[in-house]
Structure 1
Amino acid sequence: MNVRFTCLLIWTMLTNAALPGFAGEPPQEYFNWRELPVLPAPGGVGGAFAGVSNGALIVAGGTSFAAGEAPWTGATKNWYDKIYVLEQPGGAWKEAGRLPRPLGYGVSATWRDAVVCIGGNGPSEHYADAFLLRYVDGKMQTEALPPMPAPNANAAGALIGDVIYIAGGQETPSAASANVFWSLDLSQPADKRSWTTLPSWPGPPRTQCVAGTINGEFYLFSGANIRSTGKDLLKDAYKYTPGSGWTKLSDLPQPTIAAPSPAFATGQSHLLVFGGDDGTNAARNNELKDAHPGFSPQIWAYNIITDTWSVTGKFPVTRAGDPAADPDSSSWAPVTTPAVVWNGSLVLPSGEARPAVRTPKVWMATPDRPTGAFRLMDWMVVGLYFLLVIGISVYVSRKMGSTTNDFFLGGGKIPWWAAGLSIFGSKLSALTFIAIPAKAFATDWVYLLNNLLIVAVAPIVVYFYLPYFRKLKLTSVYEYLEIRFSPAVKILGSLTFVLFQVSRLGIVIYLPALVLSAVTGIDIIVCIVATALITTAYSVSGGIEAVIWTEVMQVAVLLGGAFLSLVFIVNSLDGGVTQLVTEATEHGKFRLAILSWDAAEPVLWVVFIGGFLTQLVTYSSDQVVVQRYLTTSTEKEARQSIYTNAVLVIPASLIFFSVGTALWVFFRHHPTELNPHGNTDDVFPWFISQELPAGLSGLVIAGLFAATMSTISSSMNSIATVITTDFYQKFIPASTDRQRFVFARRATLVLGVIGCAIAIYLVSLHNTSIWDQYLKIIGLFGGCLAGMFLAGIFFPRINAFGAITGFVVSAVCLYFVQSATRINFFLYPAIAVLICVVTGYLASFLPWGDKAKTV
């Protein structure tokens, strides 16, 4: 089977030599556009305030010229104070009140249940006023805020949490552009609110610029620098990090003067700027008049990870009728209008369509993520993978005996190298397959040390833990806790493992199914059911032996797919490996350690201690791992299996981290091909679906299936082992081995159904926040569980009462550490183990505890 698979893979790669290097140009439209009811203000307004209050869209104030009038005819602007409300996208606008005065060209933003309105100007002067608008029970309420340090209009602003930042603008109608940068914390009580003057950006003053926020940082793009001697159109960009200051970013490809602000934050790493005046006709307004072609329709995407700009679509501009006589018959890319997020969609209410011409149209853009294009060759490769899985399970099931020893431990006849590959495969989940490249893409190689520390942990497991587990002839690792302490300690350990693994089972099925659905275009429910069904089938029929041998094949598939992806990415770069290494090095993408003493950050000592304890937790107390090195025939082979896994982690980690860094270099040079709506964790699957050639894409997706199924099968078999050994056999001691074997198979089947059901339930939730919190609490006990094993092996004085007390106290303490401190999560296992052992040791001196037992 391996020979045939290899031949097909080679044939796939050869046949693709004549195919295009990429899967095809990615879609250029990432939004579904629709028109909302037109604003009832005659002809529309420019420079209005807008936001959302209690679910309703608010548009207030602004300016316009009378029909047929313009600055070149000597006309002046009309200023408005009316407030319009649209309660539902399909509803009707209604007038709901008035502003304190006719006003426009200020900064507005949505904060909690209110619209923040700051600054702006009227017919003759600029204002420093600031206030909140709230729409409550069909009426508009106004709440005053502290005035700005100086009058200001045509500025840009955006919120980071409860703090609004204001940048640039003009103090008076005739003033030069300002370089002011202020902030106001809206969460403070009304009498405590005050403006803070912050250091300005390291560039020229500006007005009509675009602000934006993402990941707790403030961004400032483009603008115009108005001086007494002229006007400069700017393309520069800056980032402000609270507490750290300003950073210069890559320039925009063209100016985006007066574009809708703030920029639309989408996905986890993109800010989108919609159109704006690029300056092409800036000096010809009076000459072109009604023949002006309008402003730029380009949608510019800035990626905060690669520091690059790209065009990610266009505003749906249409030309119809006579623009001068009937301007509303066409659609134009608006400027001087706020960008409002309403129910997850972007709204551009009214605005300036052309110089001196407003539009009453209100546009809504809903983010739309296209699916990947899976082709026939990809399906052939994935189909072959599933045939291999089924073939292995059928072969193993035919020769498997009907005993629990065969079902749980493979009869103790698994070769050391297969057990080692299985250990590796069981810990490399689909989440890891996706997350490691994403982490390296977004940051650097600081987390690599965490993976490599298994090399340091392996000898400790081999010389201190393994002899105990082999000598006692364990099936469930938690049997050791009963032998060393008491039945109650074993039940506590077993129950903790089962609860965590069952909860994790649904997540492990659900999250990769999201990716597979996006890449292949298959309905997510079908992905969940198919993955769970096939994995459950071979886990039930072949037991641990089928699990291990499929994992051996799966490791080859997933590592092969990742390595070939790396080769493809490198070959797609003009400079190949040299370009990859040079650019990544220049930008610090290969950084291996952060030298600091800050326990809240993944600094060197934190990653070392936390990584060491994390690996010790996994390889000393996790049934999924321990069960595999109990399937070999001798202790020597068990040692070899542990070392095989440890050695394999090194090249595997290097491959996955290299893939992430290579993706960073690739998308730095091809920013247009990166999905603006994607999360950081989507970067590798997106590349797979959009860039890899047919066949290779299928192989990598087969690797994703392999990682998913390996984790699922490992969890199901290990849970069934623990349930049967530690609970069924305990509470039904008269049961025969045959009855336990049948029960284990049925338990595996039920676990598959439960995992599938949980995953489908998560689909109905449309998010995983509830489960994330649940797993966060259950996950507290992993380090505590390892602490009991460490206490049992290295501290003979600790008794059963001390072990239970240490477990409970460490779990409670760790919960408060997570909730109330900034300590990095890498240190959680170390904290849990330390508290468990120290508390257990001290509690063992109490008079009501049992005497400690030795093994």
Structure 2
Amino acid sequence: MRTMTLLAALLITTAAAQTQTYPDLPAGIKNGVGGMIGDTLYAGLGTAGQKFYALNLLDTAKGWTEMAAFPGAARDQAAAAVVNGKLYVFGGLGKPTPEATTSVFNQVYAYDPASNAWQALNTRAPQDIGGGTAVAQGDRILLFGGVNRNIFNGYFEDIAAAGTDKVRSDAVALAYFSGRPQDYFFGREVQSYTPATNTWQSLGTAPFIGRAGAAVSLQGDALTVVSGEMKPGLRTAQAGRATVKDGGVTWSTLPDLPSAANGAVQEGVAAAFTGSSQGALLVAGGANFPGSTVKFQSGVQYAHQGLTKTWQSDIYALRGDKWSVVGQLPQAQASGISIQRGDEVILVGGELKGGDASSKVFSISLKGDSIEIKD
């Protein structure tokens, strides 16, 4: 009887796996990059190291396949976008060599699925991309946000120099985290990169404090920037939108993210998932430090000191100029990969409560006033 029970359970599990719309990743990936080329999803880097995977959506029963490894140093929080059948990867944070301290990269790589090969391009991003975002607009890529290379690198160099001396390392952290938002020089520039000509262009500067880990989405000519960090450990609920045409951008304001579903103060979120469905902008999940906004507003610059990083599950929708909470993710998570597929937003991997990397892949889409989740 026990053998039959185990066999039945195995058959049920196997049948469920075969009917999955989006099979799990071979391993958890957080702080990675990805994109969709034709009918194939691609994902890698972050906690996957230099590994890179592909999923053919026309034959999902085969699951994810390991593709050519990324040729550069492993990195977190790079930015990526697809143009003309290739995936372009920008910047990121990592160690150039195993012995080096963590630093910001500004190289650009291209992956060509036709040859399953990577190419290091002969260019550098004018502004740093670590913690920034890339979106495709026609034959060019728009990039926004990210940490400042000199300030970020300096912090990790000072921490490395402090070694195991806790008093010294605490002093480094106190000095680093006690600056005002504007003192971190997070990215405010909208950069444009055109692969066909290997050229960069400045399209203009946002009228608000720079961001890292913002939710950035492009719908037609409308580039929307929601939330994100305005300094290490402190998020903002602010949103803004730019009309991107020709050689410039024109900014307009949007309402802040509304209160969380539980009525808590809206701290803003970093590393949320984002995309569009039924013409609405979706922002899902992300992470923050509850209590940091109140401390910051009272004049405390090191606002997240002593607070606990918290992962969120709320899904917000922006329709016109009005936000609403339209649902919840199956579990609180952040720092995953968002890929637009028709009217769905596919969520690939991410970081779960406590920092574990998720291997789950599923999609969210609006159905009327509620969210449909497909896994």
**TM-score, scaled relative to structure 2:** 0.70
Shift of 1:271: 0.6
Deviation of residue 302 (structure 1)?
Answer: 0.9
Percent identity of equivalent pairs: 21
- Given that 1:80 and 1:102 are in contact with CA atoms closer than 8 Å, whether structure 2 keeps it comes out as yes
1:312 aligned partner:
326
Supply the distance in 2 between the matched residues of 1:144 and 1:343 (Cα, whole angstroms). 30
Is residue 35–residue 361 contact of structure 1 (8 Å, CA) maintained in 2?
no
What residue in structure 2 maps to residue 81 of structure 1? 50
Contact (CA 8 Å) 2:276, 2:343: kept in 1 or not?
A: no
- Residue 114, structure 1, aligned to residue 86, structure 2: yes
> Is residue 341 from structure 1 mapped to residue 340 from structure 2 by the alignment?
yes
Residue 12 (structure 2) aligns with: none
- Equivalent in 255, 259, 267 of residue 272 of structure 2: 259
1:485-539 Cα shifts (integer Å, max 9, x gaps): xxxxxxxxxxxxxxxxxxxxxxxxxxxxxxxxxxxxxxxxxxxxxxxxxxxxxxx
Correspondence for 1:156: 133
**163 and 118 in structure 1: CA distance in 2 versus 1, 3 angstrom threshold:** same
Q: Does 1:277 align with 2:282?
A: no
**For the aligned residues, what is the CA RMSD?**
2.9
Structure 2 counterpart SS, 1:273:
strand
Distance 1:38 1:112, change over 3 A: same
Q: Which structure: greater strand fraction?
A: 2
Equivalent of residue 23 in structure 2, options 32, 37, 54: 37
Residues 265/368 of structure 1: CA separation in 2 closer, same or farther (3 Å cut): closer
Matches of 2:313 and 2:29, distance apart in 1: 19
Letter of the aligned partner of 2:189 in structure 1? F
Name the aligned partner's letter for residue 26 of structure 2: P
Q: CA deviation at 1:183?
A: 2.5
Deviation at 1:298, TM superposition (A): 0.9
Once the two structures are TM-superposed, the CA of residue 239 in structure 1 deviates from its matched residue by 0.9
Is residue 277–residue 295 contact of structure 1 (8 Å, CA) maintained in 2?
yes
Q: Which amino acid aligns with 2:228?
A: G
Separation in 1, partners of 2:147, 2:68: 28
Instruction: Tell me: CA distance 1:244–1:48, structure 2 relative to 1, closer, same or farther (3 Å).
Output: closer
Q: Alignment partner of 1:99: what SS?
A: coil
Q: Check whether the contact 2:192–2:202 (CA below 8 A) recurs between aligned residues.
A: no
Return closer, same or farther for 1:224/1:177 CA change in 2, 3 Å cut-off: farther
Q: Is the 8 A contact 2:335 2:350 kept in 1?
A: yes
Q: Name 2:221's counterpart in structure 1.
A: 216
- Contact 1:211–1:220 at 8 Å: present in 2 too? yes
Counterparts of 2:87 and 2:104, CA distance in 1: 20
Per-residue deviation, 1:157: 2.7
Q: Secondary structure of 1:136's match?
A: coil
Cα distance in 1 for partners of 2:338, 2:276 equals 11
Where does residue 102 of structure 1 map in the other structure? 74
- Whether the 8 Å contact between 1:36 and 1:362 is mirrored in structure 2 is yes
- Measure the CA separation in 2 of the matches of 1:205 and 1:280: 21
Q: Kindly provide the amino acid, as one letter, of the partner of residue 201 in structure 2.
A: T
Equivalents in 2 of 1:153, 1:106: separation in Å? 6
8 A contact 1:115–1:132 mirrored in 2: yes
SS of equivalent residue, structure 1 residue 198: strand
Q: Give the whole-Å Cα distance in 2 for the aligned partners of 1:160 and 1:219.
A: 13
Deviation, 1:40, is: 1.5
Deviation at 1:340, TM superposition (A): 0.7
Q: Which has the larger radius of gyration?
A: 1
Indicate if the aligned counterparts of 1:252 and 1:309 stay in contact, CA closer than 8 A: yes
Pair 1:286–1:61, CA change in 2 (3 A): farther
Please state if 1:135 is matched with 2:133: no
Q: Which amino acid aligns with 2:85?
A: D
How many angstroms apart in 2 are the aligned matches of 1:287 and 1:278? 10
Say if 2:103 is the partner of 1:125.
yes
The whole-number CA distance in structure 2 between the counterparts of 1:34 and 1:252 is 33
- Residues 343, 217 of structure 1: CA spacing in aligned structure 2 closer, same or farther, 3 A cutoff? closer
Pair 354,140 (structure 1): closer, same or farther in 2 beyond 3 Å: farther
38, 58, 63: which one aligns with 1:92? 63
Letter in 1 for 2:329: F
* 1:205 counterpart SS class: coil
**2-side partners of 1:308 and 1:132: how far apart?**
38
* Secondary structure, counterpart of 1:119 in structure 2: strand
Aligned counterparts of 1:185 and 1:167: Cα–Cα separation in 2: 11
Instruction: Verify the 8 A CA contact 1:184 1:193 in the aligned structure 2.
Output: no
- List runs of 5+ in structure 1 lacking aligned partners: 1-32, 64-78, 317-331, 371-672, 678-855
The aligned counterpart of 1:353 is 352
Deviations 1:676-710 (A, max 9, x none): 99xxxxxxxxxxxxxxxxxxxxxxxxxxxxxxxxx
In 1, Cα distance between equivalents of 2:89 and 2:139: 14
Instruction: Flag the 1:234–1:213 CA change in 2: closer, same or farther, 3 A.
Output: same
The question of whether the paired residues in 2 share the 8 Å contact of 1:165 and 1:181 is answered with: no
Measured against aligned partners, the alpha-carbon deviations of 1:442-467 in whole angstroms (never above 9, x if no partner) come to: xxxxxxxxxxxxxxxxxxxxxxxxxx
Q: Is the CA contact 1:160–1:217 (under 8 Å) kept in the aligned structure 2?
A: no
Aligned to 1:90, the other structure's residue is in SS state helix
1:91 maps to amino acid: K
* Aligned CA distance change for structure 1 residues 217 and 363 (closer, same or farther; 3 Å): same
Letter in structure 2 aligned against 1:298: D
Alignment check: 8 A CA contact 2:277 2:366 kept: no
TM-aligned CA deviation for residue 310 of structure 1: 0.5
Q: Which residue of 1 aligns with 2:231?
A: 226
The one-character-per-residue Cα deviations of 1:337-364 (angstroms, maximum 9, x if unpaired) are 1201246532211111124221122223
Letter in 2 for 1:267: Q
- 1:279 Cα offset (Å): 3.0
The question of whether the paired residues in 2 share the 8 Å contact of 1:133 and 1:143 is answered with: no
Please name the residue that 1:369 is paired with: 367
Summarize deviations over 1:240-262 as a string: whole Å, max 9, x none. 112451112111123121112xx
Alignment of 1:445-464 (within 5 A): none
Q: SS at the partner of 2:45?
A: strand
Map Cα deviations across residues 529-571 of structure 1 (whole Å, 9 max, x no partner).
Answer: xxxxxxxxxxxxxxxxxxxxxxxxxxxxxxxxxxxxxxxxxxx
Once the two structures are superposed, what CA deviation does each residue of 1:155-205 show, in whole Å capped at 9, x if it has no partner? 12322223322112113333825133233243x63xx33211232211112
Q: What's the secondary structure of 1:120's corresponding residue? A: strand
For the residues of structure 1 that align with 2:211 and 2:64, how far apart are their CA atoms? 35
Alpha-carbon separation, structure 2, partners of 1:362 and 1:215? 26
* Count of residues in Structure 1 that have an aligned counterpart in Structure 2: 293
Verify the 8 A CA contact 2:24 2:360 in the aligned structure 1: yes
Contact 2:290–2:307 (CA under 8 A) maintained in structure 1: no
Structure 2 gap segments, 5+ residues each: 1-18, 96-101, 156-175, 177-183, 259-265, 293-302
Counterparts of residues 320-331 of structure 1 (less than 5 Å)? none
Cα shift readout 1:79-117 (whole Å, capped 9, x = no counterpart):
711111112333311211111221220112233322221
- C-alpha contact (below 8 Å) 1:295/1:333 kept by paired residues: yes
Deviation at 1:278?
4.2
1:250: which partner in 2? 255
Retained in 2: the 8 A contact 1:209–1:223?
yes
Residue aligning to 1:238: 240
Q: How does 1:192-591 map to 2 (within 5 A)?
A: 192-226=197-231, 231-242=233-244, 243-253=248-258, 254=266, 255-260=268-273, 263-268=274-279, 270-280=280-290, 295-303=311-319, 305=320, 307-316=321-330, 332-342=331-341, 344-365=343-364, 367=365, 369=367
After superposition, the C-alpha distances for 1:137-163 in whole angstroms (9 at most, x for unaligned) are 6x3443626320143301123222233
- What is the aligned partner in structure 1 of residue 160 from structure 2? none
Residue 105 of structure 1 aligns to a residue in which SS? coil
CA distance in 2, matches of 1:368, 1:309: 14
Letter of the aligned partner of 1:58 in structure 2? Answer: Y
Native 8 Å contact 2:204 2:249 kept in 1? no
Structure 1 residues 201 and 264, CA gap change in structure 2 (3 angstroms): same
Whether the aligned pair in 1 keeps the contact of 2:142 and 2:193 (CA below 8 Å) is no
CA deviation digits over 1:458-482, x for unaligned, max 9? Answer: xxxxxxxxxxxxxxxxxxxxxxxxx
Report the CA distance between 1:285 and its aligned residue.
Answer: 10
Given that 1:157 and 1:212 are in contact with CA atoms closer than 8 Å, whether structure 2 keeps it comes out as no
Output the CA distance in 1 between the equivalents of 2:211 and 2:107. 21
